Each structure stands twice: as C-alpha cells, then as structure tokens.
Amino acid sequence: MKFLKKKLLFSLFLNDSEYHAYKYLYFRTGEFEAGSVRGAVNELVNEGLADKLKRNRRSRFRLTANGREFLLKNLPCLSRESRPWDKRWRIAIIVNKIGPALRPLQRHLRLLGYRHLSRGVYISGANVAETTRELLIKNHWLSQVVVVESRRVLGADDQQLARNLWHLESLSGQYVEFITLAERLIKQSRSNLILLQQAKFGFKAVFDSYFKLVLNDPGLPKALLLPDWQADAARELFWRLVELAKTAKI
C-alpha cells in the first residue's frame, strides 16, 4: 500500500468513531496535493477500508472495521496489547531464483517487519505467522516461499540479533527525540491551543514524526527490545496531543 493511503488510514484511526471532512485529512497530509489526497481516500472507500458519507454535497470519511484490522496487522506497534514473546523466530526463505518478479514479495516481507538476513532469507521476531500466511495466499506466493519457525538462531544472541537487524539504537534515539518535541508542544499549547497549528513545531510536525516511528517500529516483543525502550511513553504523549488537537478542532 502506498505511503499516502497508509497515512490517511492512520489519520482516520486516531478518531475512528467520527466522520471527517477533507479539511481534516488535508491538514495531516499537507505535503501532498489535495487532488492526490481525494483520490487516495476514495480508493480506500472502494477497497472497503474507509466509509464515505455525503451530505449537502460534502463528503466525510470514517475508518471501517476492515480498515482498522488492516492497519493493526500492518502496523502492529499501534496495538496496545503486549504479548509475551513465544521465543520463536519466523524465517522466510525464497526458494526460487530472485529477480524482478519477486521484488514485490521482498517488499511485502519488509513491510511486515521482516529483515534481510542473507540472500533470499528474511527473519522476524514478531508473531507474524498468520499475517505472512494470508499474504502468501492472497498473492499466490505459497510456492515461492518456505516459512520456518525456529526457537534458536545458532551463533547469535536473541537480543543482540534484534538490535543489529532492526537498528534498535537508532530507533530508540528517534523515540527520545519525539518525546522531547511532544513534551514541549504539550507545555506550550496548554495555555494557547493555536500553537498546535504552527508549521515548524506544531501538531503536524508531531503527527509526521510519530507516523514515521510507527512505520519503522518492527513491533518486536519487549523481550527483544532495549531495556530503556520509550515507545509506550511516546504513545501516551502522542495521544495526549491528539486529544488537544480535537479540542482545538484541527
């Protein structure tokens, strides 16, 4: 799925009990042309991931149950559920010769959080077995890939393997930077909600920063993350700002 459509789904996800006008979507996807935003959200409607309500020639949109399910499957860190690690690695092995025809498969594996281990071999520490199976069936790739579950990867410490493959130190630093930005905006906007609309350090900047984190977060179990992982703190601050944005009607 294209970046814009994912961002639109994420925007609707933040308040999925209400219908939202184009203005709401334009603000959160301001880096795109308005025509592109309209086209993308209507594609989501056709795909059953968003619902459209039209009154007085004005269109409004809301996330559907299918859209919510799709988003949580593809961006697992959005889920507030925290499951213990089952101590299993999922290893996807592409059995056919790798070429242009298999690039979509490789791209989809990366989008599910798999990381490239060696030529034609991808690994995930998250419980994505069912999601992977659905992907392979939907795209007729079952004959192209063998998926193995293993309790141990020889020659590697689990935490160190996760740290190296998913560059967790770098992502951890990005979470810390986001927390600094979010805390500053919360402090400033308590007395003046209009500051949420500023271009450089307002809600749009926080929204973009958090969405980038959501896209990059591999959704690994806590047992594989760094001890000082700040994703929960970042999520809490972001949702506080979402509520402030609602109050400010932006």
SS3 at position 51: strand
Instruction: Specify whether the CB–CB gap between 186 and 244 falls below 8 A.
Output: yes
Boundary of a domain, candidates 155, 180, 202: 155
Residue 117: alpha-carbon gap to chain centroid = 22
| Mean pLDDT over the full length of the chain | 90
Q: What is the DSSP letter of 229?
A: -
- 121 belongs to a structural domain: yes
* The total number of structural domains that make up the chain: 3
Beta bridge partners of 150: 89
- Quick one: which of 114, 139, 116, 144 has its CA closest to 127? 114
Dist CA 171 CA 146 (whole Å): 30
- Would you mind telling me the total number of residues written for the chain in this entry? 250
211 has pLDDT over 80: yes
Range of the domain at 115: 89-155
Share of the chain above pLDDT 70, in %: 98
Instruction: Specify whether the CB–CB gap between 196 and 185 falls below 8 A.
Output: yes
More confidently predicted of 194 and 182: 182
- 161 belongs to a structural domain: no
pTM of the model: 0.86
44: CATH = 1.10.10.10
Boundary of a domain, candidates 127, 155, 183: 155
Residue 81, pLDDT score: 67
At 102-113, the pLDDT tens digits run 889 998 898 888
- 239 belongs to a structural domain: yes
Q: Which residues of 18-45 are buried (b: 16+ CB within 10 A; e: fewer)?
A: ebbeeebbeebbeebeeeebeebbebbb
Residue 79, pLDDT score: 76
Residue 242, pLDDT score: 93
Q: How many CA atoms lie within 13 A of 202 on its CB side?
A: 15
- 160 belongs to a structural domain: no
Residue 248, pLDDT score: 86
122: CATH = 3.30.70
Clarify whether residues 56 and 107 are in a common domain: no
Residue 30, pLDDT score: 92
Residue 82, pLDDT score: 66
Instruction: Give Cα separations from 13 to 5, 82, 85, 95, 149 (angstroms).
Output: 12, 19, 26, 37, 32
- Max mean pLDDT range (36-40, 69-73, 117-121, 144-148): 36-40
Helix segments in 139-230, DSSP class H: 158-165, 168-189, 203-216
In this prediction, residues 183-200 reach a mean pLDDT of 82
Clarify whether residues 108 and 150 are in a common domain: yes
Clarify whether residues 9 and 66 are in a common domain: yes
Residue 199, pLDDT score: 63
SS3 at position 22: helix
At 61-79, the pLDDT tens digits run 999 999 999 898 888 788 7
At 156-178, the pLDDT tens digits run 789 999 999 999 999 999 999 99
Boundary of a domain, candidates 12, 42, 71: 71
